Amino acid sequence: MAAIFQGVGAAAALSSSLSNSFDSKKFVSSPLRKGASFAVVRSDGRVNLNPKGRRAQQLISNAVATKSDSAAASSSSKPGHELLLFEALQEGLEEEMERDIRVCVMGEDVGHYGGSYKVTKGLAKKFGDLRVLDTPIAENSFTGMGIGAAMTGLRPVVEGMNMGFLLLAFNQISNNCGMLHYTSGGQFTIPIVIRGPGGVGRQLGAEHSQRLESYFQSIPGIQMVACSTPYNAKGLMKAAIRSENPVILFEHVLLYNLKERIPDEDYICNLEEAEMVRPGEHVTILTYSRMRYHVMQAAKTLVNKGYDPEVIDIRSLKPFDLYTIGNSVKKTHRVLIVEECMRTGGIGASLIAAITENFNDYLDAPIMCLSSQDVPTPYAGTLEEVTVVQPAQIVTAVEQLCQ
C-alpha cells in the first residue's frame, strides 16, 4: 500500500499541533478500489495516522499544512511519488495522450502558456501545437469544435479557463454534447472531457467564483465528476478521457496545490463511484470537492466531542453512487450534505431527493443540507468567508442532527 503524506511548503501557524507525530500508517481505503488505499489528505492540516482503529484522525492545525515526517515510511513495495494536484492532473493527461494519439487538448492558453493553472504545462512542447491547441477566446465555438472533433474520431479535452467561462459554451454543452448521441440514434459518440476550475477562491470576485455544478446537472447524456485529491484527480482525469461518454470534470481553484503521494503504477478511479473518506457510525456526511476539507476539519472537532461521523466524498455528481450512499444511510440513519454549490436547485437538492426517494425508511431525521448562500460571491474577504460553508457550521449541524 502506498503511504501518502501531505505537505505544502508553507509553515504551519500553530506549533502546538506539530507535536503530534505519526504513529503509524492508517489508510482509509475505499471499498471500491481494489488494492490501492490511501490516507486522507487535507489542505489545511496534516494527516495523523492512528495505530489502533480503522480510522484516520485528522489533525488540523490551520489552513496551511506543513511538511510531514516521512520517516514513518511506506510499507509499500512501490514507493509512489509525491506531487501537487495540478501536477497529478497533468500527469494523468500526459499519460493518456501518450497512450492514445487521438487525445488532444483545446482551450485558451493551454499550449504555450501551459494553462492558467499549469495543468497543461510542458504538453505543447512535447506533443505539438495541434495536439495542445491554443484557441482564440470563443468558448462556444471551440467547445463545439471539440464536439465535432469527438464525433469524427478524436478524443478532445476541452479546458475552460474557469468554469464560469463555460457558461458561454452552455449552448454547445447542453444541445450538442449531451444530446447528439441520442438524436443520432447512437451513431455518433462524443468522448469529450470538459474540465476546468470552479468554486469560490480567494477574493476572485463574483464572476470567477461560480459554482456551476447545478447548471449542468440536468443535461441528459453527460456525466459529471468532481475531483478533490491528487489521487482522485489523476484517476478521474484518466477515466474521463477513456470514457465514451461526455464527462465534465470539476476542479477547484483552491485545491490545485494539494500535495499527496500517489502510486507509480497506472490506475483510474471509477467515474460512477463515491469515495469513503472516513467510516463512522453516527452520521453520514456527503460532500465533494473543497468542502471535503472543511468537513474533515469539522470532523476533527466532532471526534473530540465524541461523535463519529462517516464522511463520503461523492465524487460522481451525476450520476450519484446510490450504493455507497445507501449503505451509509442504512448504517447511520442520519444524513448531512455539505456542498459548495448554490442552495437552490443544487447538487444537494438533487441528492436529498434521491436519498428520500430511495432510502426514506432508513432515515431517523430529516436530511440536512448545508450549501453556499444564494448570493453572487462578494469580493470582501469577510463576506466571502460566510458565503461558503465553514467547519463551525458543520459541527453545529451535526450536533443538531444527532440530538
Partner 1 sequence: MILGRAFEDMCAQMYYRGKMFGFVHLYNGQEAVSTGFIKLLKQQDSVVSTYRDHVHALSKGVPARAVMSELFGKTTGCCRGQGGSMHMFSREHNLLGGFAFIGEGIPVATGAAFTSKYKREVLKEADCDHVTLAFFGDGTCNNGQFFECLNMAALWKLPIVFVVENNLWAIGMSHLRATSDPQIYKKGPAFGMPGIHVDGMDVLKVREVAKDAIGRARRGEGPTLVECETYRFRGHSLADPDELRDPAEKAHYAARDPITALKKYLIENSLASEADLKAIDKKIDEVVEDAVEFADESPVPSQSQLLENVFADPKGFGIGPDGRYRCEDPKFTEGTAHV
Residue number, 3 or 124, with CB nearest to partner 1: 124
Is residue 148 near partner 1 by the rule CB under 8 A? yes
Give the one residue of 51, 53, 153, 381 binding partner 1; rule: CB under 8 A.
153
For residues 229 and 240, what is the distance between their CA atoms, to the nearest angstrom? 16
Take residue 217 and report the three cell numbers written for it. 446537472
The tally of CA atoms less than 13 A away on the side-chain side of residue 120 is 31
Is residue 92 near partner 1 by the rule CB under 8 A? no
Give the one residue of 47, 119, 154, 204 binding partner 1; rule: CB under 8 A.
154
Q: Mark whether 139 is an active-site residue.
A: yes
Residues 98-117 close enough to bind partner 1 by CB under 8 A: 101-102, 104
245 vs 27, 222, 333, CA distance in Å?
A: 32, 7, 34
- Estimate the share of the chain in helix, then strand, then coil, as percent rounded to the nearest 5: 35, 20, 50
User: Alpha helix (H) ranges present in 63-172?
Assistant: 85-99, 123-127, 139-151, 170-171
Closest CA to 293 of 150, 177, 390, 190: 390
Q: Mark whether 244 is an active-site residue.
A: no
Residue number, 267 or 362, with CB nearest to partner 1: 362
Residues 240-269 close enough to bind partner 1 by CB under 8 A: 243-245
Residue number, 227 or 402, with CB nearest to partner 1: 227
Assess contact for 389 and 338: CB atoms under 8 A.
yes
For residues 173 and 223, what is the distance between their CA atoms, to the nearest angstrom? 12
SS3 387: helix
Size of the site for partner 1 (CB under 8 A): 60
For residues 67 and 75, what is the distance between their CA atoms, to the nearest angstrom? 20
Closest contact distance (angstroms) between CB of 222 and partner 1 is 8
Is residue 319 near partner 1 by the rule CB under 8 A? yes
Give the one residue of 62, 171, 257, 301 binding partner 1; rule: CB under 8 A.
171
Give the one residue of 190, 255, 285, 314 binding partner 1; rule: CB under 8 A.
190
Chain positions contacting partner 1, by CB under 8 A: 101-102, 104, 128, 130-131, 135-136, 138, 140-154, 171-172, 175-176, 180-191, 220-221, 223, 243-245, 271-273, 316, 318-324, 326, 358-359
Active site residues: 139, 208
